[in-house]
Structure 1
Amino acid sequence: MSADITQILKIDTISYARIRSALLEKREIALLDVREEAPFAEEHPLFAANLPLSRIELDAYARMPRLDTLIAVYDNGEGLAQRAACMLGELGYTGVSLLEGGLAGWREAGGEIFRDVNAPSKAFGELVESRRHTPSFSAQEVQQLLDDKADVVVLDARRFDEYRTMSIPTSISVPGAELVLRVRELAPDPKTRVIVNCAGRTRSIIGTQSLVNAGIPNPVAALRNGTIGWTLAGQTLQHQQQRRFPETSPDNRAQAAVSARRTADLAGVQRASVEQLQQYLEQKDRTTYRFDVRTPEEYLHAHLPGFASAPGGQLVQETDHVAPVRGARIVLADDDGVRANMTASWLAQMGWEVHVLDGAAPESWSGSGQSAVRLPLRVETIDSAAMLTAGALKEWLAGDGASGITVVDFAASAQFVQRRIPGAWFALRSELKVALQNLPQSSRYVLTSADGLLAQLVLKEFQALTSAQAYVLEGGTDAWVAAGLQTEGADSSAAAHFASPRSDRYRRPYEGTDNPVAAMQAYLDWEYGLVEQLGRDGTHGFFVI
C-alpha cells in the first residue's frame, strides 16, 4: 500500500449519530467492517457489511459501484481500518471516513451489537414469524409424517451444495426463489402437505411464508429449526442426495406468475422498463444494483448484460453481503415473472427500494458465462519478471534448491485445506507481518491464490517486508491444477501448514455435520432473541405484509 502516514491523517471520521441518521432517512451509506469474517461474526452493527481488507481491490467495485458513496470503515482496534480507507481512496472512492472509535465507539455511543453473519436477513425472518405466526412442525412431527408415509413433500430451500452436504430424508432441493415457481409441479394435489426446511430458521420461514403469501392451496409448514432441529432431536440426516426440482409446466408457470405479481404489488414493489433502468444507471447520485435471481445454471447460459447472478433465495438471505450500500436501489430480473417478483416482495419488506424489470426482449439476454470483474490497474501492470509459470515452479521444487523455496497460499482457508500445492503454507494478507514471522526462512517465496489475482495484490506488500526474492504463480493454484500437477488436500496424509489463523471463515453452527450440540443450540437461542434486538436498534425499517 502506497499511502503514508500523512495520507492516513487526512482521513475524515464519521460519528455513530451521523450513520444512524443516514440509516433512518434511507440515505445511501456503506458501513464496512474490514476485519476477517470470523471476528466480524462475533460482533458488529446490524447493517455492517464484511469486506475484509484482504479482498478490497477484488470486491469493492462490484459491491460499491458508485465511487462517491458515503463509506464508513471500522475495525476493533487492529489497525486495519486506516489501511483499508487508504486502499479505498487509491481505488478512487471519495466519500471514505473512519467510524469514530471503531466498534468500541459504536458500542459506547449506544449502538446495538449483533453477531453471526447475515444478521439483517435473519432478524427479518424472525420478525416475519412473530408477526405472521408462520406455521411450523417440529422435527419429531415431520419424522412421524415420513414414518406414516403421509401425503407430504419436503422441500429444501437452501443452495444445492448445502443440500448435498446434509438433507432431510425424502427432501427435494428447491432453493428459496424457486419455491413458488415449482411447488405446483411437486405437489399438484392440494391435499398434499408441503414442508419447507433449511439448515436453521430463516430460509424455511421465508420459504414457507412465500408459499402462504402466494396463496397456494396446500397446507404448508416450516420444519422448525431446520437440520439443526433435526440433529438435536437425534434423527438421521441423509448425505450426497441429488433430488432436484423438475421443469415447470406452462400452466403452472402462468399460475405462479399471477400469484407472484399479486404478492409483489402488495409489498409495494416498483416496476422498471428497460428505458427507465437506463435512466437509473445514468443517475450520478444513486447506486443501482442489478441482479438476475434465477439459478446459477440459467445465468451462465444466458443473462442480461450488466446483471450479476444472485439467486433469489440467497439474495434475501445475504442481502448485506451482495448489496452493502444501504439505501441503494435494487433492480431484479428473471424470464418467468415469478422469481423476481417473489424476491422483490421480501426485499421491499426489508426496507429496500426495489424494482422488477419488465419488458426485456428475448434477444436482450445476450450475456453468457460469468460476468466480468472490474479490477484495479495494479493487478494488470505487475512486473512480468515477478511472474512464475506452473512449469517453472515445478522445476524449482524438483531441483537442488527446493529447500530454499516456500510456496505461500493466500486463497480462502477452506480452499487451501481442500486443494493446495504440496508443502504450501496458508497466510492471510491482513496479518502479513505476523505470517511472515511464522513462515520458514527461505531465499525465494512463491505466492499463490486460487486464480492468482489476490497473490498479485499481495506481492508488493510481501516484497516490502523481506529481502528474499518473491514471485507470483501465474494463474495461481488453478493453473497448477490445469497443468496436471500434483496437489494435497483434506484426504492427504500431509499436514496443512498455517502461518495465519483461519479467521477468514466463520464456522457456521448450521453447516457441516460435526458441529457441537451446544453451538447449534446457542445459535437457535440467538435467533430467538433477534426481534428484541431489532427493537433496541431501531434502524431497520422492516415491515411485514
Structure 2
Amino acid sequence: MSVASVTAAAAKNRLHAGEEIAFLDVREAAAFGEGHPLFAIPCPFSRLEATALALVPRADCPVLLIDDGDGIAMRAAQRLAACGYTDIAVIAGGLPAWEAAGLGVFAGVNVPSKTLGELLEHDHHPAMIDAATLANWQREGRPHAFFDARPPAEYAKMRIEGARCVPNGELAHRVGAAVPDAATPIVITCAGRTRGIVGALTLRAIGVTNPVYALENGTQGWALAGLPLDRGASADPMPELDAGQAQASRASAARLIAASHLSTLTPGEAEGLLDEAGRTTFLFDLRSEEERAAPPVPGAIPALAGQLIQATDQYVGVRHGRLILMDDTGLRAALAGLFLRALGFEVHVLALDDAEGVDAPAVPHPALKAPARPLSVDARAAWSLAQSGVPVLDLRSSTEWEAWRLEGARWVLRGDLPGALAASTRRVLLLGDAAAVAAATCELQAAGISARWLPADADACAQAGWPVDRVKRRMSREDARDRVWFVHDRHDGNKEASRQYLAWEMNLINQLDAAERAAFAPVSIGATA
C-alpha cells in the first residue's frame, strides 16, 4: 500500500479536528522523553507491532507516524501495513520539521494526563498540606488517614511511612471501609503532583465531607524537605467492603453519573458499540485484580481507574476514541470517565452490579495480525551454533542487559538492523522476549537473514555451558536509547532532578498553545456533595 506524507502543519490540524486518529511516535523512549508533540503516543520501533496492536485495535483507524526525520517512520509504516493497518501517513521531516514549523514539543511522559492534573489544580484548588506540617502531625499523633494513590509496584519502590496503598478510584470506592469516620482528615500522596490532586478531587466529586488534603509534591516534596522515604514495602490488601459500604458506592456512582451527565450502558448496548464499524472502542475492566478473576470478562483490558487517568497514553493510542469503563458498582468507572472525558474521549459507564444474570459484553477479535515469531532453539543448541560462528543478538531491554549478559552476544535495537550485521550474515540467534524477537525478525527476513529464537534465561544458558556474565554493569546513556532519561533519578536521591521535575510539571500549562488548551474540557467537580 502507498503511505501518505503530510506536513507538520497538516498533521497538527488533523489532531485537533475531533476525529479519531492514532498519532504514534516511533522513536525510542530516550528520544521521546526528551521531547515530543503533546498528543503523540509512545510506540517505539523496537516494539512497534506489539504496542500498536494493543493501543490501536482497529485496522482502518487513521494512523499518523512521526520520527526524527531519519526514515524510521516509513519503515514503521511498512510494518504496520503488514499487520493490516490500511490508513497510514508519515509526517515529512519528522520532529525536526514539527519544531521548524513552530509547533510545541513537550519533555517527559504521560504529558496529557499530567497537564490535566495541573489544569484541575488551577481550576479547583484542592487543599494542600506540606511535608513539614504532615511530619508534625505524625510526630504529634494527630489523627488522620494517610493514603498513597499509586499502584503497589510504585508504592514498593518508595513510600512515606504510615501511608497505606489505596490507588485513586479504589479509595473513593472503599472510603467507607478505609476511613474511620466522616471527620478524620484524609491525606493523599503520590510521587509528585498529579495523582495527589486527582485523588483529592475524586473524594470531593463524590461528596466526602472529611477534610481532604493532597500532599504537596508527594514523595519528592517529602524528600526535598529532608524527610526519609521507606523502600521495599509491600502493599497491604485493600479494604474490603461490607454490604452497606458497597451500597454506598453504588449510591455515590448514581449521584455522580446523574450530576455529571455521564452515559451508562447495558452489556448489550456495550456489545453493540464494540461491534460498530468505523469507530475504535476500548472496554476497560476497572475492578481490582481479585475482583476481575471472579467473574472474568474475556477481552476486557485490566486497569486501575487512577492509572488509566494518570497514564492514558499507555492504554489508549487513539485520540478521540471511545472508552467503555466497567466495574461492579459503577463508581470507579464513573470517576475515570469524569476525567477521561476531559481528555477528549467519548466515555460510557457499565456497572456489572446492574446487570446481574446478564452476560458481559463480548470483545471482538481485531482484524490485525502480529508478526510471526521465529522457531525457537534450546540453550544447548544455541550455544553450539554460537560456537560455530552464528551471531547472537541481545534484544532485551538495556536494564535486563545490565543484570546479565551472554558471552559473545551483541546488544542491539531493532532500528539498528540489519546494518549492525556483516553483509555476509545469513543467520542469527535472537535473545529476548517474544515481541522484541518477532519485531526484529521482520527486519532480518527483509534482508534475507534467517533467525532462531533463544527464549532461555541466564540459568538455562549457564547450565548449557554458555559463559554468563552476571556482574552488574551500566550501559551508557548514549547506548541505552530504550529508556527515558529525562530526570530519571528523581526518585533515587537526586534532589536537583526532583526540583527540575516539579518545575517542569507546574509549567506544563504555560507550554500549551491555544488549540492544545482548548483540547482539555473543563471538569465539573462537587455537584454531588
Aligned partner of 2:199 in structure 1 is 207
Give the drift of 1:44. 1.2
Q: Give percent identity, aligned residues only.
A: 33
Question: Could you give the per-residue CA deviations for residues 343-386 of structure 1, whole angstroms, max 9, x where no partner exists?
Answer: 1111122221100124444573699xxx9999736415x4x4xx
Change (3 A) 1:478 1:169: same
Aligned partner of 2:484 in structure 1 is 506
**Separation in structure 1 between the aligned mates of residue 62 and residue 368 of structure 2, nearest angstrom:** 21
Tell me how large the CA RMSD over aligned residues is.
3.3
- Assess if the C-alpha contact under 8 Å between 2:47 and 2:435 holds in 1: no
Residue 72 of structure 1: SS of its match in structure 2? strand
Aligned partner of 1:337 in structure 2 is 330
Residue 221 of structure 1: SS of its match in structure 2? strand
Match for 2:429 among 446, 450, 456? 446
Residue 364 (str. 1) matches residue 359 (str. 2): yes
Residue correspondence of structure 1 range 426-465 to structure 2 within 5 A: 426-433=411-418, 435-436=420-421, 445-450=428-433, 452-459=434-441, 461-462=443-444
Which structure ranks higher in relative contact order (CA pairs < 8 Å, sequence separation ≥ 6)?
Answer: 2
Give the drift of 1:18. 3.8
Residue 285 (str. 1) matches residue 297 (str. 2): no
Residue 247 (str. 1) matches residue 240 (str. 2): yes
Change (3 A) 1:476 1:65: farther
- Assess if the C-alpha contact under 8 Å between 2:157 and 2:231 holds in 1: yes
Aligned partner of 1:173 in structure 2 is 165
Residue 70 of structure 2: SS of its match in structure 1? coil
Aligned partner of 1:517 in structure 2 is 495
**Separation in structure 1 between the aligned mates of residue 54 and residue 357 of structure 2, nearest angstrom:** 26
Aligned partner of 2:179 in structure 1 is 187
**Separation in structure 2 between the aligned mates of residue 252 and residue 189 of structure 1, nearest angstrom:** 13
**Separation in structure 1 between the aligned mates of residue 297 and residue 461 of structure 2, nearest angstrom:** 32
Aligned partner of 1:276 in structure 2 is 269
Residue 309 of structure 2: SS of its match in structure 1? helix
Give the drift of 1:460. 5.0
Residue 379 of structure 1: SS of its match in structure 2? coil
- Assess if the C-alpha contact under 8 Å between 1:329 and 1:354 holds in 2: yes
- Assess if the C-alpha contact under 8 Å between 1:421 and 1:488 holds in 2: yes
**Separation in structure 2 between the aligned mates of residue 179 and residue 116 of structure 1, nearest angstrom:** 27
Residue correspondence of structure 1 range 34-113 to structure 2 within 5 A: 34-113=26-105
Question: Could you give the per-residue CA deviations for residues 395-439 of structure 1, whole angstroms, max 9, x where no partner exists?
Answer: 667xxx37x4654221222334346556644321122356548xx
> Which deviates further from its counterpart, 428-437 or 80-89?
428-437
Residue 147 of structure 2: SS of its match in structure 1? strand
Question: Could you give the per-residue CA deviations for residues 312-339 of structure 1, whole angstroms, max 9, x where no partner exists?
Answer: 1111011122111111110011123221
Aligned partner of 1:388 in structure 2 is 377
- Assess if the C-alpha contact under 8 Å between 1:154 and 1:171 holds in 2: yes
**Separation in structure 1 between the aligned mates of residue 129 and residue 468 of structure 2, nearest angstrom:** 44
- Assess if the C-alpha contact under 8 Å between 2:69 and 2:92 holds in 1: no
Change (3 A) 1:229 1:76: same
Give the drift of 1:166. 0.5
Report the AA paired with residue 359 of structure 2: S
- Assess if the C-alpha contact under 8 Å between 1:292 and 1:303 holds in 2: no
> Which deviates further from its counterpart, 225-234 or 356-365?
356-365
- Assess if the C-alpha contact under 8 Å between 2:249 and 2:329 holds in 1: no
Report the AA paired with residue 14 of structure 1: V
**Separation in structure 2 between the aligned mates of residue 535 and residue 464 of structure 1, nearest angstrom:** 42
Match for 2:453 among 462, 472, 483? 472
Change (3 A) 1:217 1:503: same
- Assess if the C-alpha contact under 8 Å between 1:316 and 1:343 holds in 2: yes
- Assess if the C-alpha contact under 8 Å between 1:196 and 1:207 holds in 2: yes
